[in-house]
């Protein structure tokens, strides 16, 4: 398919000559006699067909510089080659600053125009490709969206989004399996480095005698077995992000070299004659108490404070059980599709209740593996308790009930109040059990929004409408509280 070039020149003879020359070079040509008509064409229905512009600088009314400025302002991203009979350094510089990619003096030789157009189109194709990769990277960032419904994970997501806007070093803490790598991918995917590499290093798996070479690279022949040059993880991540997982496992001598790399922005490959500059954003993670390791002399204090500029701690799954149903649904859809078990469509209430009550010592990774096994074992279209034999063996039989329960912070008073509005049955208060039944009087599971509405109403009554106390006891921010109360149609005391 021919590339189309727009010729903008107020001289009829020049337009005819350029039209003939460009067609001989294999281009389709549009010719217009003014800057205004050029802008109209670029913004019109056929504007997308224009791949490059050959623009005369000296024209009446709207000259070439004005055309360039208008294109920049309106986002009309086309490579522009300017031409004029009055050649000079100052004119060329002015045109380039206004957005031109090349400058030719009239009358330009056909070979000069050919070279200029070919270079301009190649550069523009590269720009479009890079832009496409950035869009893809941002899409991938959305693919890594954190599945959560809990307040504490919403706070984690908020911090991650803020971290993505800068190159600040982030240290992600949390137990094994809580999703530290996912957070690192999310930060990278939302950052300006999204189109560059994310290089992941498990520091706990680095062989001690090869750790320096793996991280910083080596020259050919620098040690026995170094049969060829190796660039190392830092240079692989140049321009992007290096994720140092389990950073607390690094040997002491490597900690020193890592500190220098962070301080100076350069590394020393093994056997190299000089240092190498690198531009790397560092995200680290650990499941250890690194501050205790610092006090015990196991981890360098100066390195700790270099890495721990923005701490981000992930809560274990047992502390955010409200996320479990959403995670189960996420893993069910993703894993069933991956394993070509699309007939497995759902999980029954008993199994979901059991999973929601389990403490998950292995956190999200354990839940994902459990769902993986269940999908493989399931012979029907619904996953049940039988597909989780190991978990069922560890659970108290009462946890396998269809009716989950939650403990109330304010004791029997809350239960009695909610009995009155029908949220819980009277049997829940027999014997003083401080639990909320999640079934209505007709035996159906209450919608979450209905339960939340009644609890908010009770909290308002219990604290006499004092919003700060209500928000504190419910564990949410005041703005969130106001929004939910308004959505539920509950009365708001603006002065409270």
Pairwise pLDDT comparison (369 vs 488), residue with the higher score: 369
Pairwise pLDDT comparison (84 vs 159), residue with the higher score: 159
> What pLDDT does 44 receive?
81
> What pLDDT does 439 receive?
61
> What pLDDT does 139 receive?
47
The segment with the largest mean pLDDT, out of 189-203, 214-228, 394-408, is: 189-203
Identify the band that residue 90 occupies on the pLDDT scale cut at 50, 70 and 90.
confident
> What pLDDT does 400 receive?
54
Question: Which residue has tokens 């006090």?
Answer: 295
Identify the band that residue 402 occupies on the pLDDT scale cut at 50, 70 and 90.
very low
> What pLDDT does 341 receive?
82
Lowest mean pLDDT segment, chosen from 57-71, 122-136, 313-327, 381-395 = 122-136
Token digits of residue 75: 């986002």
The segment with the largest mean pLDDT, out of 131-140, 226-235, 236-245, 483-492, is: 236-245
Whole-model pTM: value is 0.56
Mean pLDDT over 410-422 rounds to 45
Identify the band that residue 407 occupies on the pLDDT scale cut at 50, 70 and 90.
very low
SS3 56: strand
Mean pLDDT over 400-417 rounds to 42
Q: pLDDT tens, 178-205?
A: 999 999 999 999 998 988 889 999 999 9
Residue 325 in this model has a pLDDT that exceeds 50: yes
Percent of the chain with pLDDT over 90: 33
Residue 251 in this model has a pLDDT that exceeds 80: yes
Q: Write out the DSSP string of 307-375.
A: H-SEEEEPPPGGG-GGGHHHHHHHHHHHHHHHTT-TT--EE-HHHHHHHHH---TTHHHHHHHHHHHHH
Pairwise pLDDT comparison (211 vs 399), residue with the higher score: 211
Mean pLDDT over 432-447 rounds to 57
The segment with the largest mean pLDDT, out of 58-72, 100-114, 308-322, 398-412, is: 308-322
> What pLDDT does 196 receive?
87
Q: What rounded mean pLDDT belongs to the chain?
A: 82
> What pLDDT does 88 receive?
64
> What pLDDT does 440 receive?
60
Pairwise pLDDT comparison (259 vs 86), residue with the higher score: 259
Q: pLDDT tens, 129-183?
A: 655 555 555 444 444 568 887 888 888 999 999 999 999 999 999 999 999 999 9
Identify the band that residue 403 occupies on the pLDDT scale cut at 50, 70 and 90.
very low
53 bridge partner residues: 6, 80
- Cβ-count burial of 2 within 10 angstroms (0-12 exposed, 13-18 middle, 19+ buried)? exposed
- The phi, psi pair for 2, rounded to 5°, reads -70, 140
52 bridge partner residues: 5
Identify the band that residue 210 occupies on the pLDDT scale cut at 50, 70 and 90.
confident
Residue 373 in this model has a pLDDT that exceeds 80: yes
Identify the band that residue 448 occupies on the pLDDT scale cut at 50, 70 and 90.
confident
DSSP-derived pairing of the beta strands 266-267 and 276-277: antiparallel
Identify the band that residue 396 occupies on the pLDDT scale cut at 50, 70 and 90.
low
Q: How many CB atoms lie within 10 A of CB 122?
A: 11
> What pLDDT does 305 receive?
94
Identify the band that residue 436 occupies on the pLDDT scale cut at 50, 70 and 90.
low
User: Cα–Cα distance between 463 and 453 in angstroms, integer?
Assistant: 16
- The phi, psi pair for 189, rounded to 5°, reads -65, -25
Q: Give the single-character DSSP code of 395.
A: S
| Nearest one of 204, 187, 303 to 246, comparing CA atoms | 204
Contact call for residues 240 and 259 (beta carbons, < 8 A): no
> What pLDDT does 482 receive?
78
Q: pLDDT tens, 26-75?
A: 888 999 999 899 898 888 877 878 889 998 888 888 888 888 888 888 87
SS3 447: coil
Mean pLDDT over 465-494 rounds to 78
Pairwise pLDDT comparison (58 vs 451), residue with the higher score: 58
Q: Give the single-character DSSP code of 239.
A: T
Lowest mean pLDDT segment, chosen from 227-236, 288-297, 330-339, 409-418 = 409-418
């Amino acid at each position: 398919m021919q590339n189309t070039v727009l010729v903008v020149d107020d001289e009829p003879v020049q337009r005819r000559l350029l039209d003939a020359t460009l067609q001989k070079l294999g281009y389709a040509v549009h010719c217009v006699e003014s800057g205004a008509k050029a802008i109209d064409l670029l913004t019109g229905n056929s504007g997308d067909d224009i791949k490059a512009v050959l623009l005369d600088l000296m024209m009446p009314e709207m000259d070439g510089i004005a055309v360039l400025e208008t294109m920049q302002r309106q986002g009309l991203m086309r490579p522009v080659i300017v031409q004029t009979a009055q050649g000079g350094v100052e004119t060329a510089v002015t045109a380039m600053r206004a957005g031109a990619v090349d400058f030719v003096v009239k009358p330009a030789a056909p070979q000069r125009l050919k070279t200029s157009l070919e270079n301009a189109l190649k550069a523009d194709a590269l720009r479009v490709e890079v832009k496409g990769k950035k869009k893809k990277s941002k899409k991938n960032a959305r693919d890594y969206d954190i599945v959560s419904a809990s307040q504490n994970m919403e706070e984690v997501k908020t911090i991650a989004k803020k971290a993505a806007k800068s190159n600040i070093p982030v240290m992600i803490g949390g137990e094994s399996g809580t999703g530290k790598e996912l957070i690192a991918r999310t930060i990278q995917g939302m950052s300006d480095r999204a189109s560059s590499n994310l290089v992941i290093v498990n520091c706990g798996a680095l062989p001690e005698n090869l750790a320096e070479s793996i991280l910083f690279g080596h020259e050919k022949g620098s040690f026995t077995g170094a049969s060829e040059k190796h660039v190392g993880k830092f240079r692989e991540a140049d321009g992007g992000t290096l994720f140092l997982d389990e950073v607390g496992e690094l040997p002491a001598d490597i900690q020193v070299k890592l500190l220098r790399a962070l301080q100076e922005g350069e590394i020393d490959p093994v056997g190299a004659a000089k240092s190498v500059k690198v531009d790397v954003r560092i995200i680290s993670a650990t499941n250890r108490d690194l501050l205790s390791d610092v006090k015990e002399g196991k981890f360098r204090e100066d390195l700790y404070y270099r890495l721990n500029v923005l701490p981000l701690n992930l809560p274990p799954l047992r502390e955010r059980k409200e996320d479990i149903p959403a995670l189960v649904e996420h893993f069910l859809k993703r894993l069933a599709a991956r394993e070509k078990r699309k007939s497995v469509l759902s999980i029954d209430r008993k199994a979901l209740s059991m999973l929601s009550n389990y403490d998950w010592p292995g956190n999200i990774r354990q839940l994902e593996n459990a769902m993986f096994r269940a999908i493989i074992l399931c012979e029907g279209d619904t996953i049940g308790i039988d597909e989780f034999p190991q978990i069922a063996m560890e659970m108290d039989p009462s946890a396998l009930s269809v009716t989950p329960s939650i403990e109330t912070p304010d004791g029997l008073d809350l239960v009695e109040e909610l009995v009155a509005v029908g949220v819980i049955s009277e049997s829940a208060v027999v014997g003083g059990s401080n639990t909320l039944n999640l079934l209505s009087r007709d035996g159906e599971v209450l919608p979450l929004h209905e339960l939340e509405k009644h609890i908010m109403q009770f909290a308002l009554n219990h604290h006499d409408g004092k919003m700060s106390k209500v928000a504190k006891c419910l564990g949410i921010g005041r703005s969130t509280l106001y929004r939910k109360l308004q959505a539920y149609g509950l009365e708001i005391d603006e002065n409270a």
